[in-house]
Amino acid sequence: MSEITESRRGEVALRGLSKSFALNGQRLNVLRDINLDVAGGEALAIVGPSGCGKTTLLRILAGLEVPESGEVRIDGAPTSGVGRERAIIFQEPRLLPWLTVLQNVAFGQSVRGASQEKSEARARHYIELVGLSGFINAFPRQLSGGMAQRVGIARALTVQPEILLLDEPFGALDAMTKLTMQEELARIWAEEKVTMLLVTHDLEEAAFLADRVLVLPLEKGAQPRVINIDLPRPRARSSAKFVALRSRLMAEFGLH
């Protein structure tokens, strides 16, 4: 699969992106004039206080929300609506309860018109990648929260996107499962060489997974900031450099 991914780019450019909502007759500016370039294969974490517009930004990137002004360019071309080069992993797994794990993972492929054989073959590969081979015929109600979320991840990977969008994918998981899943995501990202845009409220998760961190301000006057995470991979959470960087990120939020 590496030949295919090599030729892909998955470059994302945000140009003057703004979005506001009408809330009780008032205009609520959520995003104001966001400009950002993300290189193909880069991992970008998006952090910021609750309500600052992280989910809104990711939904615009996914094509589920329309920006008020500005545009999203993918590999140089402006986009509108959802697109095959992107796949999203939601905060909740959003599995179809009447489909087995295999059918759920194949779902993205099969609604795009792939044959059952082809989509299931590919689904099996990614189910193995997320470590759920033993549960291929299980129904979602038979899975734990972490397992269900891994099914959601496999489903997104199965469509082999250039760009993977994740909205607090591990937010609902317990601390132990979360650590394991972060390790797995880091491995998958390295293997698949996709561009990864990850919304999180967990600064350690951002430091562990991302090449750069976009910090969105709650004050719409303030500018978003970008912090580089210059750490070698694979990353060790206990290394002095990691701890130092995590402290810097926390200082960004006024935490110590």
Ligand X SMILES: Nc1ncnc2c1ncn2[C@@H]1O[C@H](COP(=O)(O)OP(=O)(O)OP(=O)(O)O)[C@@H](O)[C@H]1O
- Residues lying near another protein in the complex (CB under 8 A) are found at 62-64, 82-84, 87-88, 90, 92, 94, 96-99, 107-108, 111-112, 139-141, 155, 159
Question: Under rule CB under 6 A, which residues in 177-236 are in contact with ligand X?
Answer: 201
Question: Under rule CB under 6 A, which residues in 127-186 are in contact with ligand X?
Answer: none
Mention every residue, 6+ apart, whose C-beta is less than 8 A from residue 35. Answer: 14, 15, 16, 17
Question: Which of Mg ion, another protein, ligand X, none interacts with 21 (beta carbon under 5 to 8 A by kind)?
Answer: ligand X
Question: Is 51 a binder of ligand X (CB under 6 A)?
Answer: yes
How long is the chain?
256
Q: How far apart (Å, rounded) are the C-alpha atoms in residues 71 and 245?
A: 32
Q: What is the DSSP string of 21-47?
A: EEETTEEEEEEEEEEEEE-TT-EEEEE
Tell the smallest beta-carbon distance from residue 105 to another protein (Å). 11
Query: 3-class DSSP state for residue 56?
Result: helix
The stretch near ligand X (CB under 6 A) out of 4-12, 49-57, 141-149, 180-188 is 49-57
CB-CB contact of 170 with 179 (8 Å): no
Residues binding ligand X: what is the number (CB under 6 A)?
Answer: 13
Closest residue to Mg ion in the complex (CB): 55
Q: E-assigned strands of 90-220?
A: 163-167, 195-199, 212-215
Q: Of 183 and 202, which has the nearer Cβ to ligand X?
A: 202
Question: Is 119 a binder of ligand X (CB under 6 A)?
Answer: no
Q: How far apart (Å, rounded) are the C-alpha atoms in residues 129 and 118?
A: 17
Dihedral, 91, 97, 101, 104 alpha carbons, nearest 10: -70
Question: Which of another protein, Mg ion, ligand X, none interacts with 141 (beta carbon under 5 to 8 A by kind)?
Answer: another protein
The stretch near ligand X (CB under 6 A) out of 20-28, 92-100, 109-117, 122-130 is 20-28
Q: How far apart (Å, rounded) are the C-alpha atoms in residues 227 and 232?
A: 16
Question: Under rule CB under 5 A, which residues in 36-75 are in contact with Mg ion?
Answer: 55
Tell the smallest beta-carbon distance from residue 21 to ligand X (Å). 3
Q: Rule CB under 5 A: which residues touch Mg ion?
A: 55
Q: Rule CB under 6 A: which residues touch ligand X?
A: 21, 23, 28, 30, 48, 50-56, 201
